[in-house]
């Protein structure tokens, strides 16, 4: 089987936590790698952002990233990407024609890619599998007061994909309900494929590892450390953690609390400085450190050094940061939204907080920091919980979804019938 994955607006090779790169990048790259290792050939089409990358990047056997030139390399905000849909689709068609390569199926990620996938589905007469990752209607329902709403144009495009894709892949049952409630999706065309984590990379730290990680980060060994990993945008909630930090220190100024916020600004209206300014306004600048985005190999150091990882998002389709932290043996305090109640086993591997009230978040973090026995028990249970989620299993589930998609409506399309019989 050969699959064309489409990830137009962000490359799976881009550093997660910077710009628009995040959990989706991790998901696309890791599922594609595991699919390739299981015998499915995968080409990921993405928009070129650097001329030095070249058109084709061989990631590993059976997996390539194809960089399509569509618009300028630099300076194109995500909000302007819809203007490049035709150019991007044309680039994919040209690559397909010039390289004499045929695909059995298209898997698009995010609504921009879905619009391209919808066009190519009809040109190539192959099934379209679509993963939204986030949905406009859901983001608007959960957005913070300071967040800009998602456009009606995006919601309409998402509705078109819900109506036209052969299969809609979601991360959790919660997303299934979102598609049904907000987009009137047919539940028979929705497949739940749970994401995974790299448990070979994200591993629990020993006391020695924790001490080494803290030394590398310049964190005192006797400090209480809470970490946030992700893009710096209101929707991800770093401001929630900063305000909760100020509240905990207001209650107890002698508390040896430190906070690390690791990530880059996301969106045209967001800068790292605004979160630094918030910390300064609340008088906690000396307690909160901001780190640039870093590769997964270096995130392990942060997870192992932390007592708690906070995930105060306003919505998450799953919560890969929460799973990575747990794989490293670090309990999680997360918002009770989206897929986070699946990623975090409440009371066993972490704590779920209703809403984003500053006092409630301060209470949750404070209670867990003060309860060493519970926190250490959760650390042990978190590793076992994360072990149940693997990218290999996610890829196997996807391969089964692909096989099922190839069998749909084959009687109405001779080319599809030939492909299904050949596979």
Query: In this structure, which topology does domain 207-386 adopt according to CATH?
Result: Rossmann fold (3.40.50)
- Binding site annotation covers 141? no
Same fold, 2-196+391-422 and 207-386: yes
- Binding site annotation covers 355? no
Query: In this structure, which topology does domain 2-196+391-422 adopt according to CATH?
Result: Rossmann fold (3.40.50)
Residue with tokens 């301060």: 362
- Binding site annotation covers 154? yes
- Binding site annotation covers 9? yes
Q: What is the pTM of this model?
A: 0.83
Residue-level pLDDT at 268 = 52
Beta bridge partners, 265, equal 232
- Binding site annotation covers 46? no
- Binding site annotation covers 115? no
Residue-level pLDDT at 411 = 44
- Binding site annotation covers 134? yes
**Residues in the chain with pLDDT values less than 50:** 410-412
Residue-level pLDDT at 210 = 86
Task: Quote the tokens at residue 389.
Answer: 């989620």
Q: Are 378 and 348 in contact (CB under 8 A)?
A: yes
- Binding site annotation covers 78? yes
- Binding site annotation covers 304? yes
- Binding site annotation covers 294? yes
- Binding site annotation covers 19? no
- Binding site annotation covers 21? yes
Sign of the C-alpha dihedral computed for residues 91, 94, 96 and 100 taken in this order:
negative
Residue-level pLDDT at 69 = 95
Residue-level pLDDT at 190 = 97
Residue-range domain boundaries for the chain = 2-196+391-422, 207-386
Residue-level pLDDT at 13 = 86
Helix H, strand E, coil C: the string for the chain is: CEEEEECCCCCCCCCCCCCCCCHHHHHHHHHHHHHHHCCCEEEEEEECCCHHHCCEEEEECCEEEEEECCCCCCCCCHHHHHHHHHHHHHHHHHHHHHCCCCCCEEEEEHHHHHHHHHHHHHHHCCCEEEECCCCHHHHHHHCCCCCCCCCHHHHHHHHHHHHHCCEEEECCHHHHHHHHHHHCCCHHHEEECCCCECCCCCCCCCHHHHHHHHHHHCCCCCCEEEEEECCECHHHCHHHHHHHHHHHHHHCCCCCEEEEEECCECCCCCCHHHHHHHHHHCCCCCCEEEECCCCHHHHHHHHHHCCEEEECCCCCCCCHHHHHHHHCCCCEEEECCCCHHHHCCECCCEEEECCCCHHHHHHHHHHHHHCHHHHHHHHHHHHHHHCCCEHHHHHHHHHHHHHHHHCCCHHHCHHHHHHHHHC
- Binding site annotation covers 359? no
């Amino acid at each position: 089987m050969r699959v064309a994955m489409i990830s137009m607006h962000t490359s799976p090779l881009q550093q997660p936590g910077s710009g628009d790169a995040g959990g989706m990048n991790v998901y696309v790259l890791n599922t594609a790698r595991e699919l390739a290792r299981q015998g499915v050939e995968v080409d990921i089409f993405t928009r070129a952002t650097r001329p030095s990358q070249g058109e084709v990047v061989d990631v590993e056997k059976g997996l390539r990233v194809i960089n399509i030139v569509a618009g300028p390399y630099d300076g194109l905000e995500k909000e302007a990407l819809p203007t490049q849909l035709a150019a991007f689709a044309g680039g994919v068609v040209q690559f397909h024609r010039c390289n004499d390569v045929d695909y059995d199926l298209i898997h698009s990620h995010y609504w921009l890619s879905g619009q391209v996938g919808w066009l190519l589905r009809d040109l190539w007469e192959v099934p379209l599998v679509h993963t939204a990752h986030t949905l406009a209607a859901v983001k608007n329902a959960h957005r913070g007061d300071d967040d800009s709403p998602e456009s009606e144009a995006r919601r309409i495009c998402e509705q078109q994909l819900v109506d036209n894709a052969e299969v809609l892949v979601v991360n959790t049952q919660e997303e299934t309900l979102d598609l049904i409630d907000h987009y009137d999706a047919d539940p028979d065309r929705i497949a739940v494929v749970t994401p995974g984590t790299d448990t070979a990379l994200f591993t629990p730290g020993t006391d020695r590892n924790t001490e080494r990680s803290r030394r590398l980060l310049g964190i005192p060994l006797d400090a209480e450390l809470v970490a946030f990993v992700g893009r710096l945008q209101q929707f991800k909630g770093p401001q929630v953690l900063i305000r909760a930090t100020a509240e905990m220190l207001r209650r107890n100024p002698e508390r040896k609390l430190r906070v690390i916020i690791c990530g880059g600004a996301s969106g045209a209206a967001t800068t790292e400085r605004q979160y630094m300014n918030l910390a300064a306004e609340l008088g906690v600048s000396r307690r909160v450190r901001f780190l640039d985005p870093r590769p997964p190999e270096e995130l392990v150091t942060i997870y192992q050094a932390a007592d708690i990882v906070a995930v105060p998002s306003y919505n998450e389709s799953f919560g890969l940061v929460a799973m990575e932290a747990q794989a490293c043996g670090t309990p999680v305090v997360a918002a009770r939204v989206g897929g986070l109640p699946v990623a975090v086993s409440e009371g066993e591997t972490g704590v779920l907080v209703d809403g984003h009230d500053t006092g409630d978040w301060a209470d949750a973090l404070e209670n867990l920091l003060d309860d060493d026995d519970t926190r250490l028990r959760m650390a042990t249970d978190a590793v076992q919980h994360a072990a149940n989620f693997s990218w290999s299993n996610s890829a196997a589930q996807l391969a089964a979804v692909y096989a099922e998609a190839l069998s749909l409506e084959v009687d109405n399309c001779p080319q599809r019938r030939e492909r299904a019989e050949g596979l």
